[in-house]
Chain A
């Protein structure tokens, strides 16, 4: 069974630009969550999508957005990039069907550097 796939692995962008990151979950998983990981803040929850609907949202500005497609693949977009957006962005997939005890499976992440 293929794992969670995130593309691209590395990105370098300039301040003010926008970026789109992609995540393909494990087959059969309907929930996709996005996290931002930085050395100082640890793992910060961005948002979660389930069956193409945003089900949960973290405390990030509106520049951060996402969507999920009918095949459960998800994208997140960051507009008007700031230097502070430099981070490892992690995607996690899970069954998401209401069983809160099911674990999430993470992709390898996309390392975004804003210069």
Chain B
């Protein structure tokens, strides 16, 4: 079975500082990994994904994520946080060998960037 853990319910960071939102996953095979962001009263917006190749993936709005197979992690990062980055972030996984099984999401991490 596939699963995703986002160990922090809330992350607080000062504007201009680097941010990290953590995600670990569990799949039986190799993963496809995704990050989404949700602003209040909105649906989820796709940020970036890892398919294969380079472990560092760059996405929208200056976000990037690093795939670490040995630690089964896919942490989301940004070098310099903005107040407008404050939102709810979701990590999701799909087993590469499972075809079109649904995306499995973590419970989300609320990021608060303080001016």
A contact residues vs B (CB 8 Å cutoff): 4, 6, 31, 33, 35, 41-43, 45, 48, 50, 55-56, 58, 90, 92, 96, 98, 100-101, 103-109, 111
How distant is A86 from chain B, measured CB to nearest CB, in Å?
Answer: 15
Establish whether residues B100 and A42, one from each chain, have CB atoms under 8 Å apart when the complex forms: no
Establish whether residues B107 and A104, one from each chain, have CB atoms under 8 Å apart when the complex forms: no
Q: How many A-B residue pairs lie within 8 Å, measured between CB atoms?
A: 64
Establish whether residues B44 and A106, one from each chain, have CB atoms under 8 Å apart when the complex forms: yes
Kindly state the separation between the CA atoms of A6 and B106 in the bound complex, as whole angstroms. Answer: 23
Establish whether residues B102 and A103, one from each chain, have CB atoms under 8 Å apart when the complex forms: no
- A-B contact list, 23 entries, CB within 8 Å: A6-B43, A33-B103, A35-B105, A42-B107, A43-B90, A43-B105, A45-B102, A45-B103, A48-B102, A55-B100, A58-B102, A92-B44, A100-B32, A100-B94, A100-B99, A101-B49, A101-B51, A104-B103, A106-B36, A106-B43, A106-B45, A109-B41, A111-B41
